[in-house]
């Protein structure tokens, strides 16, 4: 199996990508790249996908919107009172859960510019599906990954659970038993590429069962809004 970490953004030059193989509970990063107008992220990911084995895409961007935002705005008229708590309106359940568990608050896709990044991520997924003819569903458990799938990750939360400072993340994750980096040092100077490598580590956490799972009762909600896969805090 392969893992592709994607630090998503609205501009190609700010998209970081990391390709790794995954075997026996460990990922080996084999290539890293940043998107560009000459070769955009879509083309790079297409080159990395293979027909012979599934790939898990670990995407650093929201992949859904708050369910209450859609319900409320559907019938809302300008000037009318909105009788919904703003935290419920603008944030997803998974965002609030990450904040509750880790005291790390994701940007609110219903209220921040991160909505544009979410749109870019979904556009990338849509274009990949169109170009490759792959379904690329979202994975809800490691057992789902029998074909090329995608998950939402949040590198800042992964680092928080590990007690790692953002500025020292590259040197710190090199020491993780589940990750090795087999690329030239000069290729790891791009901040977005480094974040993509952290996305790979978050995907490993998902695959080996380290991540917090949504409850069964929350299944319908998180399938609508999305779920951030981040390891349990130790």
Q: Who wins on pLDDT, 62 or 85?
A: 62
Instruction: Report the sign of the C-alpha dihedral through residues 31, 177, 143, 102, in that order.
Output: negative
State the maximum Cα–Cα separation within the chain, in Å, rounded to a whole number.
Answer: 57
8-state DSSP, 31 = E
Residue 234 has a pLDDT of: 66
Inside any domain, residue 233? no
Nearest-CA neighbor of 222 among 103, 64, 58?
64
- Asked whether residue 115 is domain-assigned, the answer is yes
Total number of domains constituting the chain: 1
Whether residue 185 has pLDDT greater than 80 = yes
Q: Is residue 157 part of a domain?
A: yes
Q: Is the predicted pLDDT of residue 73 greater than 80, yes or no? A: no
DSSP label at residue 217: G
Q: Give the gyration radius of the chain's Cα atoms.
A: 17
Closest CA relative to residue 61, chosen from 21, 94, 20:
94
Q: Is residue 234 part of a domain?
A: no
What SS3 state is found at 133? coil
154 vs 60: CA distance, rounded Å: 5
162 domain residue, yes or no: yes
Please state, in angstroms and rounded to a whole number, the distance separating the CA atoms of residues 170 and 175: 9
pTM score > 0.85 for this model?
Answer: yes
Cα separation, 97 vs 106, whole angstroms: 10
pLDDT at 233 over 80: no
Residue 111, in any domain of the structure: yes
What range does the domain containing 220 cover? Answer: 2-225
What residues pair up with 149 in beta bridges, in sequence order? 56
**Structural domain includes residue 128:** yes
Dihedrals phi, psi of 158, to nearest 5 degrees: -60, -45
pLDDT digits (tens, 9 = 90+) for 196-222: 999 999 999 999 999 988 888 888 899
Q: Is residue 204 part of a domain?
A: yes
What is the tens place of the pLDDT at every residue in 92-119? 999 999 999 999 999 888 888 899 999 9
Which tops the pLDDT comparison, 127 or 165?
127
Total number of residues shown for the chain: 234
């Amino acid at each position: 199996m392969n893992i592709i970490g994607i630090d998503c953004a609205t501009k190609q030059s700010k998209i970081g990508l990391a390709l790794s193989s995954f075997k026996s509970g460990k990922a080996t990063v084999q290539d890293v790249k940043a998107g560009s107008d000459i070769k955009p992220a879509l083309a790079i990911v297409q080159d990395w996908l293979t027909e012979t084995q599934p790939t898990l895409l670990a995407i650093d961007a929201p992949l859904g919107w708050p369910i209450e935002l859609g319900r409320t705005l559907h019938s809302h008229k300008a000037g009318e009172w909105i009788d919904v708590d703003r935290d419920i309106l603008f944030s997803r359940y998974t965002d609030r859960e990450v904040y509750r568990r880790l005291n790390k608050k994701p940007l609110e896709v219903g209220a921040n510019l991160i909505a544009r990044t979410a749109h870019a991520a979904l556009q990338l997924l849509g274009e990949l599906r169109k170009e490759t003819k792959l379904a690329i569903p979202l994975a809800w458990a490691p057992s789902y990954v029998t074909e090329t799938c995608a998950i939402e990750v949040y590198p800042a939360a992964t680092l928080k659970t590990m007690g790692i400072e953002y500025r020292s993340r590259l040197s710190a994750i090199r020491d993780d038993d589940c990750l090795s980096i087999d690329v030239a040092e000069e290729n790891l100077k791009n901040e977005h590429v480094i974040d993509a490598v952290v996305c790979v580590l978050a995907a490993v956490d998902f695959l080996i069962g380290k991540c917090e799972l949504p409850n069964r009762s929350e299944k319908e909600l998180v399938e609508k809004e999305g779920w951030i896969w981040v390891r349990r805090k130790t």
